[in-house]
Chains A and B, each alone.
Chain A
Amino acid sequence: MRRECWSAAALALLALAYLLAARRYPLDTLATPGPGIVPLVAGVALLGVAISLFVKTGRVGAPAVSFGPPTSRAGLADPATTHETGVAPIRPTDPTPQRVRRSPIVLAVALVLYAALLPRLGFIASSFALVVIASRLMGASGWWRPAALAAGVAAIGYLLFARWLGVPLP
């Protein structure tokens, strides 16, 4: 519930910041509409939706109104579905909870560094490093396999895109 309130507040903040930045674009008249009209409408509408989300989640125990099918993501079958049919799902391998929590954050930081270093180190070196880090974070053991994978990905990427397709990679 708290998380929902925070996300509603973040959306409201985004809408306010956007509206603030949109102030510099003229609205003009309805007959000759200016570039500020749609940003104003979109910003106010998002603010309204964010407030309604905040109010809705503020009501203790208020369920989220759902229309349409369950939002099942591709991946392991919906537990409710497998429960309903009585079919035992294939046992997933148990991940280490702490590592699972941490590794996406580390990979996100690696991606930021990748974007920062791409123009300086170039495509091959930075992609090599990203693949090694990503495959290690995803559970690859040792250094040889990640390094071989990274070399393959960087080489194929370079040959396919820079050489064959002529993309001027950094």
Chain B
Amino acid sequence: MSELFVALTPANLLACFVGTVLGTIVGVLPGLGPAGAMALVLPLTIKLGPTAGLIMLAGIYYGAMYGGSTTSILINVPGEAASVVTTIDGYRLARKGRAGAALAVAAIASFVAGTFSVVALQLAAPMVARAALAFGPAEYFAFALLGLVLLANLTGGSRAKSLAMVLVGVMLSTVGMDPLGGTVRFTFDLAGAQAGLSFVAVTTGLFGVAEVLASMAEPVPAGAVPHVKFRELYPSREELRRSVPPMLRGTVLGFLVGLVPGPSATIASFVSYGVEKKVGKHRAELGTGAIEGVAGPEAANNAAAGGGMIPLLSLGLPFTPSTAVLLSGMMLMSVTPGPFLLRDHPSVFWGVIGSFYVGNVMLLLLNLPLVGVFARVATIPPRYLMPGVLVLCAVAAYSDNNNIFDVWVMVVAGIAGWAMRALDFGPAPLVLGLVLGPVLERSLLQALTIARGEISGLWASGPAAVMLAAAVVAFVAPGVAALVRRTATHRT
């Protein structure tokens, strides 16, 4: 536990500062999201070493949640999907002249939720990791399968499309050497494909290049950014009083939603808003510029970001694109996340958790006085920003293996990702299928070998049986629900 103070060394403080500032900028900018930005700086973080490198990556991850709210409130442009719901009441508040109060409440809610989720993460992650030590291949297979099915259900849009993307991701993960026997598959004699498709190249393509291509067809927000003076950043006593209950509800809800696979930060913010509409004392005012509509969702999306770290740190299984990039960063730095992380790399584990505390304070101190500066970043024309992003994508992809093949993978992934967006296929399920594919394959084959070919070996243990049953229910339930709905409509 004393390793928590590792986060306070000058190098780690600097890494945390740079990460949180970059994260805030990424959160502010429409287009480039935290996963793409984290993939872009991977080569840089490797140079910093595991602890500082991962602290910087994590800073981008939760810094983006802070930044996203700024432009939602000031100019009605959510920097990332988790802040979409904040525009509803946040922008309305700004129009009423309460922009400063809304920004301050968003920052305070983010801070409270961020800090709560770190405390919960600090307590829960080692417990889950200890429990996971008893996990065998069958349990890992069941958990990864459950994660992917839930992911397909919760990604939003068509479930079949999400499922298709998960499967394409799993298929792409089979390129290269097979995880058990070492057979080289689907390389078509391309030397660069022997080690498999570079995750960094695919991610920079899908989340970087594809975003740049898609942003060309989107209108650029134009308009003046309202100037918010520092002394206007004080919410009134009434506003603060009204913010506390939704902030606390959002924090707990967000953390719990964060444990579930899928775009948990976005879902958490919508769930929190929905809950406030049902139980909030001033629910009638929601949608007209109520402070509860900022406090709840902003707390929820930050708490979810913390919750999402638990499966990654304690089981080594990422369920969001951002945590998948974090996993990739850990692997590149020879740190294997999972139950043994705490035992083998305690300074990395506690250093990253400690940096969350420091990062949350930094973000609060940074975001309040510099809110106007960050908001102006959103109005930089893409023609000056996006070409540089393209070159950064290429360098990030190349430097993964110092290989031109990976640049080709990035270009193809970028063009495919752009087409996928146009056809409403999300890139997140594909990336997670790519990351979890080898885990699924390895654990399935090992479980079958251990059970001497008996399929029932996959559900012989209690936890595996429960998780597989949950996966089956999650797979079947939406179809059954749709059937019931259809029958009911036919009857009426």
Contacts and interface: CB of A to CB of B under 8 A. Distances in A.
Interface of A: 3-4, 7, 11, 14, 18, 21-22, 25, 29-35, 37-39, 42-43, 45-46, 49-50, 52-53, 56, 64-78, 81-82, 84-85, 87, 89-95, 100-101, 103-104, 107-108, 111-112, 114-115, 118-119, 123, 127, 130-131, 134-135, 137-140, 149-150, 153-154, 157, 160-161, 164-165, 167-170
B296 interface: no
Nearest to B405: A115
Given A30-B448, A45-B167, A75-B77, A70 B31 contact: no
Contact of A130 (B72, B156, B287, B391): B391
B87 interface: yes
Candidate in A70, A138, A154, A169 with the most chain B CB atoms within 10 angstroms: A138
A66 B157 contact: yes
Nearest to B68: A74
Contacts of B164: 11, 46, 49-50, 53
A100 B216 contact: yes
B183 interface: yes
B81 A72 contact: yes
Contacts of B81: 72-74
B158 A87 contact: no
Nearest to B423: A7
Contacts of B43: 161, 165, 167
Given A37-B445, A69-B263, A111-B414, 14 more contacts: A3-B423, A31-B452, A35-B185, A53-B160, A64-B161, A64-B424, A76-B77, A81-B88, A93-B220, A95-B219, A104-B213, A164-B47, A165-B47, A167-B402
B262 A68 contact: yes
B31 A52 contact: no
Contacts of B31: 74-75
B155 interface: yes
A138 B30 CA distance: 16
B399 A114 contact: no
Nearest to B447: A33
Contacts, number: 280
B87 A90 contact: no
B3 interface: no
Contact of A100 (B47, B157, B217): B217
A28 B47 CA distance: 44
Interface stretch (B98-106, B377-385, B464-472): B377-385
B171 A39 contact: yes
B440 A38 contact: yes
Interface pairs A-B: 10 shortest CB-CB: A92-B219, A31-B453, A30-B453, A138-B383, A134-B387, A35-B178, A90-B223, A131-B387, A71-B156, A35-B183
B138 to A, nearest CB: 14
Contact of B158 (A37, A64, A84, A104): A64
B218 A76 contact: yes
Interface of B: 30-31, 33, 43-44, 47, 68, 72, 75-81, 83-85, 87-89, 91-92, 95, 153-161, 163-164, 167-168, 170-171, 174, 178, 180-181, 183, 185-186, 209, 212-223, 262-263, 266-267, 270, 287-288, 381-384, 386-388, 390-392, 394-395, 398-399, 402, 404, 407-408, 410-411, 414-415, 418, 421, 423-426, 437, 440-441, 444-445, 448-449, 452-455, 478, 482
Contacts of A43: 171
B156 A68 contact: yes
Contact of A161 (B157, B161, B399): B399
Contacts of A32: 449, 453
Contact of A170 (B44, B174, B404): B404
B388 A153 contact: yes
Nearest to A11: B164
Contacts of B425: 7
Contacts of B220: 92-93, 95
B235 to A, nearest CB: 20
Contact of A33 (B33, B85, B449): B449
B95 to A, nearest CB: 6
Given A67-B478, A134-B387, A157 B158 contact: no
A31 B95 contact: no
Contacts of B215: 75
A71 to B, nearest CB: 4
Contacts of B437: 38
B170 A42 contact: yes
Contact of B395 (A3, A18, A77, A161): A161
Contacts of A68: 153-157, 262-263, 267
A65 B219 contact: no
Contacts of A42: 167, 170-171, 174
Contact of A76 (B30, B181, B394, B452): B30
A138 B437 CA distance: 37
A149 B223 contact: no
Given A66-B156, A111-B209, A115-B404, A127 B382 contact: no
B160 A76 contact: no
B387 A108 contact: no
Contacts of B72: 77
A99 to B, nearest CB: 9
Contacts of A95: 217, 219-220
B366 to A, nearest CB: 21
B95 A74 contact: no
Contact of B183 (A25, A65, A169): A25
A84 B209 contact: no
B334 to A, nearest CB: 18
A46 B168 contact: yes
A21 B125 CA distance: 42
B389 to A, nearest CB: 9
Contacts of B288: 85
B45 to A, nearest CB: 10
Given A31-B449, A111-B411, A111-B415, A39 B185 contact: yes
